[in-house]
Amino acid sequence: IPLKEGSYKWAHGNLVEEFDTSIVVIETDENIIGVGEVCTLGSSYLPAYSKGVRSGILEIGQSLIGKDPTNIGLINLEMEKKLKGHPYVKSPIDMACWDILGKYHKMPLWKLLGGKFGKKVDLYRAISQEDSETMKSKVKEYKAEGYSKFQLKVGGYYEEDIERITSVSSLLNSDNTLVADANTGWKSYEALKVIKKTANLDIYIEQPCETYHDCVVVRKKTTNPFILDESIDSINNFLQAYNDGAMDIINLKISKLGGLHKSKQLRDLCVELKIPMTIEDSWGGDIATAAISHLAHSTPEKFRFSSTDFNSYNSLSYTEGSPKRIDGKFAASDSFGLGVELDFSKLGKPEFVVN
């Protein structure tokens, strides 16, 4: 999937010019087809990589043949039994099973995930790490398109990050939200320097450091609203962070948890514990964006900090029905399942078939 902007940059010198996404198609004996997608953000961001998706599916695929895809809990247990860990491998299979479940019961996925809250979902726009003037220019452009929430990719040299945050902040008003997302790129002392120099600005600090310990150290020394992302890769890790008072908000990434089944569990737990969420994934195209929209739209608005529309970042669309952003918002489809139909002419032949 090529990017409209040509490249996407974030902490640790990471740069991607196009994304390698994996699409799973599950065919059933009742002629219902389910689709799922997982797109890793390169191979040096999370412990996940695109070729690992395909080899992992080959490892577990045969054991799923003949199973009932609407029995999603059992499918997840079967995948875990066959392949320990590697949740990103299981995510597109789980997603495709949810798509089948919705189509089987003739319901949109949001209805099965808890109902629909509000008419639209607020989106954030991620701003690739560039020099401060370029980032400021992009925020101005996206603000004109209707976005009100912006996630700056910082986590570089901290003095340049201070300039990035300060420059962009000058464009915004009280109706806007600004998140400084370091993607684990700062040492704790660097994070504290950034926070001190931007103390007069209304910003959220997201995942400043690589280790959970260092994030907690920073958290205890700032009054800024605090978001954890990379540290929240399981329900157990979330519970530890909650008990430690380590964050105000989390980023819930579907593939990091292994699909919609476990993402729904964590989402419902966050609602119960009153922790707001940004509901998203690592990256993706039309299918992943559709899944995000259903999970986000079925989350009570009070606990829905933000979401994202990855398909608007990309220059390739391969479905009909994927949600489209209007004025910085999108809505989940009312069609059955995920509400998308694949255009197979844009995808070519399958890389492999398990039967």
Instruction: Give per-residue pLDDT as tens, 109-154.
Output: 999 999 999 999 999 999 999 999 999 999 999 999 999 999 999 9
For the stretch 256-305, pLDDT in tens is 999 999 999 999 999 999 999 999 999 999 999 999 999 999 999 999 99
What average pLDDT does the segment 83-103 reach? 98
**Is the pLDDT confidence value at 104 over 90?**
yes
What average pLDDT does the segment 78-86 reach? 97
**Is the pLDDT confidence value at 348 over 90?**
no
**CA distances to 71, 193, 212, 256, 288 from 235, in Å:** 21, 31, 15, 11, 21
The rounded Cα 210 to chain-centroid distance in angstroms is 18
Mean pLDDT computed over every residue of the chain: 97
**Upper half-sphere CA count for residue 122 (Cβ side, 13 Å):** 18
pTM recorded for the entire structure: 0.97
Task: Please give the backbone phi and psi of residue 294, each rounded to the nearest 5 degrees, phi first.
Answer: -70, -40
Question: For the chain, what is the radius of gyration of the CA atoms?
Answer: 20
Cα separation, 31 vs 39, in Å, equals: 27
Name the maximum alpha-carbon separation found in the chain.
61
For the stretch 181-200, pLDDT in tens is 999 999 999 999 999 999 99
Instruction: Indicate the pLDDT class of residue 42, thresholds 50, 70 and 90.
Output: confident
What average pLDDT does the segment 242-252 reach? 98
Which positions are annotated as active-site residues?
153, 253
Cα separation, 264 vs 116, in Å, equals: 14
For the stretch 317-339, pLDDT in tens is 999 999 999 999 999 999 999 99
